[in-house]
Chains A and B, each alone.
Chain A
Amino acid sequence: MSTANHEIDALIRQKYKHGFVTELESESLPPGLNEDVIRAISAKKGEPEWMLEWRLEAYRHWLEMPEPEWAHVHYPRIDYQDIVYYAAPKSKKDAPKSLEEVDPKLLETYEKLGIPLEERAALAGVAVDAVFDSVSVATTFKDKLGKLGIIFCSFSEAVREHPELVRRYLGSVVPQRDNFFAALNSAVFSDGSFVYVPRGVRCPMELSTYFRINAKSTGQFERTLIVADEGSYVSYLEGCTAPMRDENQLHAAVVELVALDDAEIKYSTVQNWYPGDEEGRGGIYNFVTKRGECRGRGAKISWTQVETGSAITWKYPSCILTGDDSVGEFYSVALTNNRQQADTGTKMVHIGRNTRSTIISKGISAGRGQNAYRGLVKVTKSAEGARNYTQCDSLLMGEKCGAHTFPYIEVKNPTAQVEHEATTSKISEDQLFYCLQRGISTEEAVTMIVNGFCKEVLKELPMEFAVEAQKLLGVSLEGAVG
């Protein structure tokens, strides 16, 4: 096995493929946070007074909130005065009108990442609202979407162009004071995406945003708001990569989804931010609040996530099932290798009658990774006939890693049926042996087994994402068993 071990070691040590820094001049504020910084951010973005007030209100709440410590993750204390809260690519003032006008350096970056924007957009029919650092720089397929009445733009633009929609829905799912990181985001959010799908419209393409953290020690504070009006459908993709860094970078995004009567939102994430080196140095802190509300009867929200990156992942994409007969789904693959830590899961809050939720969570731990599933299924008194099925499986590779399961089940209605199942096992020696015996290499076999383990989640991803996700799992895991 020793030759195999060498190959595997080489694979484990494989450097982060997407690690590089694009030299772009950033127009940044000095590090630090106070009301003046918030005023400056708001002014730079040309925001109306109500938006600034909203930010300041959030900031004042945040000042009084303690930083949470309950998650199963460990990291040095974050100095919030040492973070740059605003950095915009140089080309901000004369924003590009089309792809040709986009800074070539930027496009080059996407090339390196294997995301040829125009090509991919054209071939896959994906409209990309690319977020490079904090300001959206390119939006495609806007016209096509516009004809259907779909609004897909940067958050700043939405604040300017569609203030009535933003005011109506912003903070209605994740209030400013929801939690420490959400409050911080509400105060300083830089930009993000806004989607509104009007009544009865089925969005003809997958909407997609690529987030990318670039300027050194810039926290990213994305704000995403997606509203699906009655009977509409939208599928939204979010994918992330980041350049190699020595310092930890904080990412505290907020994503809010609102689904009205019979509307459906499908939100898919592939997260592949820099996880830090073998010793866990550098790497992104991914402290995200994602929540959707099925506000209308028969609404559906589905979260699918593949989390392979970040030094620390701390996120719980949740569904508030307010509308009768509404449906919430959560499909997750979380992978931790080296010294990565993940504390992720979901909350399903059943309020409406006959609400249903499904949770499928697959955790994979290798190296010294720590992987925790934390989830809440809450059935309130009014949720007649609520149904939940939860399955959490963990796969362990190596004797230094950890896999943890912390489900919370709260049931206040006797007609509810709530089921939770979880298993933890190591990668099967028998399966490995079977593959090896047939001439399949260890790393290929591991990839196959892991992809099989995650199949239920991966099949929920849109096609182009599923391919990327499988590759990601392969790269991150091959050689973890030897």
Chain B
Amino acid sequence: MTATGNAAIHYLEQFREQRPELPGREPAWLDGLRREALEHLATAGLPTPRDEAWKYTNVSSIAAQAFTPAAPGAAVPDRALLESLLEPGLGGPRLVFVNGRYLPELSSPPALGGGVRVRPLAAALAEGGESLRPHLAWPPGDGSGFTALNTAFMADGACIELAPGARLEEPLHLVFVGGEDVLASPRNLIIAGAESSATVVEEYVGPEGGRYLTNTHTRISLEEKAQLVHYRLNRESLRAFHMGELRIRQAAGSRFVSTAVALGGLISRTEVRVDFSGEGAETRLNGLYVASGRQHTDHHLHIDHRLPGCTSEQFFKGVLDGAARGVFSGRVVVHPDAQHTDARQSNKSLLLSRNAEMDARPQLEIYADDVKCAHGATVGQLDGDALFYLRARGVGEAEARHLLIHAFVGDVLDRIPLPPLRQALERLLWARLDRREAAGA
């Protein structure tokens, strides 16, 4: 039996034990959904590198560890530790989840009213949650073993509903804190009515040295002309595993702008799938990954252009040091009726050390002729000419490298129009990159 197959059995047993504790015995449809997901997990197991989508990411080390799905009573890190993890914060409304479950003591949800409704998913399900049913359903198309695992164990997360025309004035900060040896399965829903708008920041943190698995799944549904600015910040412990999935459905004229920054996790993967269900929608996916040591960081993007006149952009950059490995897979599918599609893809990676590795797959699949599609990918080291230029002007080698790396990363940071977040990120990044420079590597 393979590690991934064994893992499936482990989680099936865990499910049998925890089933009574999971929300959704009532309504019965939720229980049915979990069973369906488990069946998938039991037959397919967790993915292996034999699956084309997981060719470069081997999760057997995740599968080999039997994490316990977080139960309601799972240990919570002490208050002081939690507060230190929540630094620096954004100052606005905040929802905190520990081991995937809502922690009201540290949360400050936004005020109700104005058509904005923000609550923990567990609370929403306790109230019946029939209206959420279509948004929780097994994802259309293929889901991986991790999607199934999340569906089986999802218990809580953020449930954000915006009525037509509603505006969430301040950025909403969602923080997910990992524990020790647990599997956390947060499930988030963002349902934005027509012409509504919001900014949501998803942040994942964990205690230093903590070993746990975060398997998170966020569903976003944007109705006509809705606008969502979304940030996803992975600051997991460097020994933790992070599997994240983001699925977005966009109606006509809607706009989704996302920036994913991956700094943490021993093995981390973020999968983003965008499906346009209306014409003239726009999606922009920006990303930055910085990895060192033995970190493995994977971004897997899939955009389906099914209808005419939609625009998509993927802009991902990465810096890899130590024996880190970066993976980027971006696929744009332009279906036969999706004329006037404008799709762009760009992936650039810097390799700073001898043992770093990058695997990139920027892919286009196009079935319509009146489209504009382009992609580019580069992998390399710092530009020798640029270094020479700086050195010739009296800038020291270390300083020159520092400047060039900052400029490389800066392209992504400049796309973050939220000053407190950008500043916090800059501090985090520079601290990390400069530590490396100081070590003289």
Contact = CB atoms under 8 A, between A and B. Distances in A.
Interface of A: 70, 379, 381, 394, 396-426
Given A414-B351, A416-B379, A422-B375, A409 B358 contact: yes
Interface stretch (B37-45, B362-370, B411-419): B362-370
Given A407-B363, A420-B377, A423-B374, 19 more contacts: A396-B366, A399-B369, A402-B366, A405-B375, A406-B361, A408-B361, A409-B359, A409-B361, A410-B357, A414-B352, A416-B351, A416-B379, A417-B381, A418-B378, A419-B376, A419-B380, A421-B374, A422-B376, A426-B369
A404 B366 contact: yes
A404 B364 contact: yes
Contacts of A406: 361, 363
A355 B377 CA distance: 19
B371 interface: yes
Contacts of B353: 414
A396 B374 CA distance: 13
B293 interface: no
A366 to B, nearest CB: 9
B360 interface: yes
Interface string B317-357: 00000000000000000001001000000000101111011
Nearest to A366: B369
B369 A398 contact: yes
Nearest to A397: B369
Contacts of B361: 406-409
B82 interface: no
A425 B356 CA distance: 35
A213 B375 CA distance: 39
B372 interface: yes
A385 B360 CA distance: 19
Interface of B: 52, 336, 339, 349, 351-354, 356-381
A458 to B, nearest CB: 23
Nearest to B378: A419
Given A409-B360, A414-B354, A418-B380, A423 B373 contact: yes
Contacts of B362: 405, 407, 420, 422
Per DSSP, chain B at the interface is strand
Q: Which of A381, A398, A420, A424 has the most CB of B within 10 A?
A: A424
Contacts of B381: 414-417
Contacts of A396: 366, 368-369, 371
Contacts of A423: 373-374
A401 B371 CA distance: 12
B198 to A, nearest CB: 34
Nearest to B383: A417
Contacts of A425: 371-373
Contacts of A416: 351, 379-381
Contacts of B377: 407, 409, 418-420
Contacts of B370: 399, 426
B359 A399 contact: no
A405 B374 CA distance: 10
A280 to B, nearest CB: 17
B393 to A, nearest CB: 24
30 contacts: A70-B52, A396-B368, A396-B371, A402-B365, A403-B366, A407-B363, A408-B359, A408-B361, A409-B359, A409-B360, A409-B377, A411-B351, A411-B357, A414-B352, A414-B356, A414-B381, A416-B379, A416-B381, A417-B379, A417-B380, A418-B378, A420-B360, A420-B362, A420-B378, A421-B375, A422-B374, A424-B371, A425-B371, A425-B372, A426-B369
B118 to A, nearest CB: 41
A16 B132 CA distance: 58
Contacts of B349: 411
A176 to B, nearest CB: 23
B186 to A, nearest CB: 33
Contacts of B354: 381, 413-414
A381 B353 CA distance: 11
Contacts of A381: 354
A424 B343 CA distance: 10
Nearest to B358: A411
A421 B368 CA distance: 20
Contacts of B52: 70
A18 to B, nearest CB: 29
A417 to B, nearest CB: 4
Contacts of A411: 349, 351, 357-359, 379
Contacts of B357: 410-412
Contacts of A410: 357-359
B425 to A, nearest CB: 25
Contacts of A402: 365-367
Contact of A399 (B339, B363, B374): B339
B379 A418 contact: yes
Nearest to B328: A409
Nearest to B371: A424
A127 B336 CA distance: 47
Contact of A424 (B358, B359, B366, B380): B366
B366 to A, nearest CB: 5
A399 B366 CA distance: 10
The winner among A402, A409, A413, A414 for most chain B CB atoms within 10 A is: A414
Contacts of A409: 358-361, 377, 379
Contacts of A420: 360, 362, 375-378
A399 B338 CA distance: 10
A94 B354 CA distance: 62
A342 to B, nearest CB: 14
Contacts of B366: 394, 396, 402-404, 424
B289 to A, nearest CB: 15
A479 B148 CA distance: 50
A419 B362 CA distance: 12
A399 B365 contact: no
Contacts of A404: 363-366
A408 B327 CA distance: 11
Residue of A405, A419, A426 ringed by the most chain B CB atoms within 10 A: A405
A19 B285 CA distance: 51
Contacts of B371: 396, 424-426
A456 B381 CA distance: 28
Nearest to A395: B369
Contacts of A397: 369
A423 B364 CA distance: 9
A398 B367 CA distance: 10
Nearest to A72: B365
A401 B369 CA distance: 7
A413 B349 CA distance: 12
Nearest to A415: B381
Contacts of B358: 409-411
Nearest to A411: B379
Q: Which 9 A-B pairs have the closest CB atoms?
A: A414-B351, A396-B369, A424-B373, A417-B380, A409-B360, A411-B379, A420-B377, A405-B364, A402-B367
A399 B336 contact: yes
A257 to B, nearest CB: 27
Max chain A Cβ within 10 angstroms of own Cβ: one of B349, B352, B374:
B374
B351 A421 contact: no
A467 B58 CA distance: 50
Contacts of B336: 399-400
Nearest to B365: A404
Given A397-B369, A398-B369, A411-B351, A424 B379 contact: no
A46 to B, nearest CB: 44
Nearest to B374: A423
A25 B353 CA distance: 65
A403 B374 CA distance: 12
Nearest to B382: A414
Nearest to B364: A405
Contacts of B372: 424-425
Nearest to A371: B366
A411 B378 CA distance: 10
Nearest to A394: B366
The CB with the most chain B CB atoms within 10 A, among A404, A409, A413, is that of A409
